[in-house]
Amino acid sequence: MNEVTQVATVSDAIFMTENIWIMISAMLVFVMGLGFACVEAGLVRAKCAANVAFKNIAVPAIGITMYALIGFGLMYPGTFNGILGFAGFGIGDWANPNSFTAAYNGHFTLFADWLFQAMFAATAATIVSGAVAERVKLNSFLVFTLVYVALVYPIVGSWTWGGGWLSTIGKAGFHDLAGSTLVHSVGGWAALAGVMILGPRIGKYVNGKVHAIPAHNIPLATVGVFMLWFGWWGFNAGSALSGDPKATSWILVTTNLAAVAGIITATLTSWIVSKKPDATMALNGCLAGLVAITAGADVVTPLSSWIIGAIAGVLVVGAVFLFDRLHLDDPVGALSVHLVNGVWGTIAVGIFDMTGDYSVLTQLIGVAAYAVPCFGAASLIFFAIKKTMGLRVTERQELRGLDQSEHGQESYSGFQIFSNM
């Protein structure tokens, strides 16, 4: 074998290995859908668990379909004005043989690229489903998901990941490795709009007092958090967009250190405030740490990642109490986890960046650049749905539970019979 052939073989092997890594990462992000389903189903009441499970299987179906039809072309339009561009319908130039070789981008194929990015698109809308749980009409939520994932998510995503205007500001552009803002805050701002327009669940706030509505299955929610934590390895490390040994291993370490720090500080904070350790706070502390480190996992030190996660754990507990005080009813803590800590994690890049390329000011501009259009667009979509097809179920349907009123089935069939005996 001559030298030229050996080089070609090694190059092909590296390309195949990196392509496999991106495909595995896509699979890990896909598994996060199961995690979200378990967390949300466990944290709502038993009479709404099947409804939440249904939404969590419907969201990726809609999201992946729309991303294949229009989202990918909007998010990665090629050369454009930095604000809005469109590369065309479908999954890029799949008829070109070069789309499946190293000529595509040197690391993976067109289809591996699309598959990985499509999983992110589905995740953004899943965040909303938990926040509006137990009182939103199913058909209305599905319409919202379709519009938001098809248009809003990919357009604002193109501003950073698609080479748009935010990727060029400051010294090295706005930085968000895997989506503290582009996924979690984009979903979080939409969740905030939905919660505000929908209003709280019946009985949650009475005469100015907050009434706890306990989760029905904390073990199920715990399984969900572990699944999300596992999937986050692909979510963050896959966002290195290569199989580079240093980059991927560094990101995995910082990601996991932030997660454990969030668990510790959320547990301690809730223990101090409530006099007893709250299991749901510990679970959301883990997720808060993961959300917070998602923006800067590649540009902060291991110690900094632990600090970022630790602050996230404190923030998530404080945010839960704050949103209750504001009478913003969020059954699963999605606002506290994804919105608050998506913002915190994005700003933390400017504070803890070890490269010297990113500033707090640049990161704040990015936060604002996503907050205004995402909250505004989601509010407009929810308001339009409310005025046309209706947004909230009736009082009778809500009291009965969305499993029965929307699906005509129970999550735990037969248990109601025995409880009435």
pLDDT at 205 over 70: yes
| Helices 302-325 and 279-293: angle between axes, nearest 10 degrees | 130
Q: What is the pLDDT of residue 11?
A: 86
User: Considering the chain, what percentage of its residues have pLDDT values greater than 90?
Assistant: 92
- pLDDT grade, residue 125 (50/70/90)? confident
Of 12 and 310, more confident: 310
pLDDT at 6 over 50: no
Residue labelled with tokens 């709404």: 48
Residue 391: both structure tokens together = 């947004």
- Residue-wise pLDDT tens digits, 154-175: 999 999 999 999 999 999 999 9
Three-point CA angle 315, 319, 323, nearest 5°: 175
- Residue-wise pLDDT tens digits, 208-240: 899 999 999 999 999 999 999 999 999 999 999
- Please state, as a whole number, how many other Cβ atoms lie within 10 Å of the Cβ of residue 390: 12
Domain 3-419: give its CATH architecture: Orthogonal Bundle (1.10)
Q: What is the pLDDT of residue 157?
A: 97
pLDDT at 3 over 50: no
Kind and range of the H or E element at 209? strand 209-210
Could you tell me the pTM of the whole model?
Answer: 0.94
> In the chain, how long is the greatest CA-to-CA distance?
83
Q: What is the pLDDT of residue 416?
A: 53
Domain ranges of the chain: 3-419
Query: Comparing C-alpha atoms, which of 330, 393, 398, 392 is closest to residue 47?
Result: 398
Q: What is the pLDDT of residue 323?
A: 97
Q: What is the pLDDT of residue 418?
A: 41
- Please state, as a whole number, how many other Cβ atoms lie within 10 Å of the Cβ of residue 77: 21
DSSP 62-103: HHHHHIIIIIHHHHS-SS--SS-----SSSSSTTSGGGGSTT
Q: What does DSSP say about strands 209-210 and 205-206: parallel, antiparallel, or unpaired? A: antiparallel
Q: What is the pLDDT of residue 9?
A: 59
